[in-house]
Amino acid sequence: MEVFDAIRGRRSIRKYKDKLVPWDNIITIMQAGKYAPCAGNLQNWKFIVVKTDAKRKAIAQACLQQEWMENAPIFIVVVAEPEKAERYYGIRGSRLYTIQGCAAAIQNMLLTAHSLGLGACWVGAFDEDEIIRILNLEEDKPVQGVITIGYADENPEPPPKYRIEHMMFFEKWWGRVESPRTHLGWWSAFNARVVEEGKKLVKKTGKRIKERIEKVSSKKQQK
């Protein structure tokens, strides 16, 4: 599966089949998370795999009673180690870089799950203290997210998305003016298409004119 196809086709899945996920797939998903970009290559995160019914049910309740989660056979809880980033980057490292790195790891795992034919969902609403208690975490290891993984039992419609030209500016906030020679995406592609279609039309018209002239000339010669 091409990367962009995985990005565009991924959905948040909340209904799962009663089917076990191969352990090799879980390892592959976490390997993808490991390769996410992070500040200083600190990789200051840990992945906790949860498989038992009792703990999955407890975590689902800690995620503000999202009982649908219990149907997913695998949870991966992403836990941060902010003290490692703070050691090198100060408060910005613990409060921003760590969160960014964990988010990148989660996105990698979501895309890999989708590419393996699995469904997944990123859950960010939870009682952190309760999950810390359930997983016996240290208090300075904040939970960044819970990923549910399993075989999808639904096929959600793609959600509406803004057009890219409604989401981008040039050089400054609300900067809309840009030279056609350097304009991104739709404008340059549109211009190229118009020019190419114009060339084809000119060529086609020239061919018709030539055929018409030859036909008229042939009739004159016959007379």
Its pTM stands at 0.78
Task: Please tell me the distance from the alpha carbon of residue 118 to that of residue 13, in angstroms, as a whole number.
Answer: 9
- The pLDDT assigned to 192 comes to 65
Q: Which CATH superfamily is domain 3-150 in?
A: NADH Oxidase (3.40.109.10)
Q: Is 66 helix (H, G, I), strand (E, B) or coil?
A: coil
- The pLDDT assigned to 47 comes to 98
- The pLDDT assigned to 12 comes to 97
Instruction: Kindly give the pairing relationship between strand 45-50 and strand 119-123.
Output: unpaired
Question: For residue 89, how many other CB atoms are within 10 A of its CB?
Answer: 17
- The pLDDT assigned to 205 comes to 76
- The pLDDT assigned to 206 comes to 75
Task: Please tell me the distance from the alpha carbon of residue 166 to that of residue 169, in angstroms, as a whole number.
Answer: 8
Q: Which residues contact 40 (CB under 8 A, 6 or more apart)?
A: 85, 88, 89
pLDDT in tens, 74-93: 999 999 999 999 999 999 99
- Give the length of the chain: 223
- The pLDDT assigned to 203 comes to 80
Task: Please tell me the distance from the alpha carbon of residue 28 to that of residue 116, in angstroms, as a whole number.
Answer: 9
- Where the chain has pLDDT below 50, the residues are none
Tokens coding 215: 């036909």
Instruction: Kindly give the pairing relationship between strand 45-50 and strand 74-80.
Output: antiparallel
First to last CA, the chain: 67
- Which long-range CB contacts under 8 A does 94-101 form with residues at least 24 apart? 97/38, 97/39, 98/39, 98/44, 98/45, 99/144, 100/38, 100/39, 101/36, 101/37, 101/38, 101/39, 101/42, 101/43, 101/44, 101/45
The HSE-up count of residue 176 (CA atoms within 13 Å, CB side) is 4
What is the residue extent of each domain of the chain?
3-150, 167-223
Asked if 74 and 104 count as a contact pair (C-beta separation under 8 A), the reply is no
